[in-house]
Each structure stands twice: as structure tokens, then as C-alpha cells.
Amino acid sequence: MEDNKREKNKKARLLVAEDESFVLETLVNFLELNGFDVIAARDGGEALKKFEDEGGDVDLLFLDVTMPELNGFEVYESIKKRFGPRPVIFSSGYSLEHTFAKAPHDAPKNFIQKPFPLDELLMFIKELIFEKGKGMAPRIG
């Protein structure tokens, strides 16, 4: 029943994994206000479990790189191995060069450095979802 409802609404579903509570709450509230269905996780292990609980029905991953249990790259690699690649945005307070020095060589280079303007994140998310041909747009209002 839930799958039919999601298909009918065509709401893009995002998994947001961030270990800083304030940042996570801010992101979830902002993205929901902009029409996305958001699944929140406080660490890498929770992110992987929630993704699996959804059966992989997630359109985009937003992963903090430095988190307890599993880092963002480890979460992405686990998801990719079991469910195939997904659009992803990695986030860190460190620079792109510093962050990706520890990344798997084939990790997508989609990156946003903290702190970032929320409208910039929103544009980045929309670009990645449309780039993958999903044909989904967040519902406004």
C-alpha cells in the first residue's frame, strides 16, 4: 500500500545521514518543507539499516563523511555492493581534497563542504535526481 502511495505522489525519497543533531534536524526540516520524503539517520550504521529497511527504495543519499560506526564512504560502498549505485552527496567540514584522499578511488565526487547554504544543497539534490532520469520533483506546498 505504501509503495502505491509513493508512486502516486512521485515524491523523491532521500536518506540523510549526519551525526550532528542540529545539522540533521535542520536538513530534515528544510528538505521536507521543500517536498522531499526524508529518512534521517544519526550514524553510518543506522543509515545502512534504514536503507535496508526501505528495501533500497531511496532516490538519493546525503552522507556525512565522518560519522560513528561507519563513515559515509563505507555506507555508500555497502549500499552499492548490495543494491547498486545510487546518486549520492558526500559532506564534510574538510576540503574536497582532504575528504577524498581517504575515499575509495571510484567514489562519486559529489561533495558539498560544511557549512553550506541550504539553497545550494537543494539545487545540487535536484540536479542529481534529474540527472539520473528519475523524473521526480519535490512537491512544493
In a domain, residue 139? The reply is: no
Q: How far is CA 64 from CA 14, 90, 133, in A?
A: 13, 6, 25
Kindly state the average pLDDT of the residues 62-73. 94
Residue 116, domain member (yes or no)? yes
Q: Is the dihedral of CA 140, 10, 77, 105 positive or negative?
A: negative
pTM exceeds 0.75, yes or no? yes
The total of structural domains in the chain comes to 1
pLDDT, one tens digit per residue, over 70-117 is 999 999 999 999 999 999 999 999 888 888 888 888 888 899 999 999
Confidence of residue 132 (pLDDT cuts 50, 70, 90): low
Element (H, E) at 97: helix 96-100
CB of 90 within 8 A of CB of 114? no
Domain-located, residue 136: no
- Percent of the chain past pLDDT 90, that is, above it, reads 70
CATH number for the domain spanning 103: value is 3.40.50.2300
Strand partners, 112: 91
* pLDDT tops 80 at residue 139: no
Cell of 53: 529497511
Pairwise CA distance, residues 67 & 32, whole Å: 23
Is 34 part of a structural domain of the chain?
Answer: yes
Residues 55, 102: Cα–Cα separation, whole Å: 28
pLDDT 10s digits, 13-50 = 999 999 999 999 999 999 999 999 999 999 999 999 99
**107 within a domain of the structure (yes/no):** yes
Range of the domain at 41: 2-131
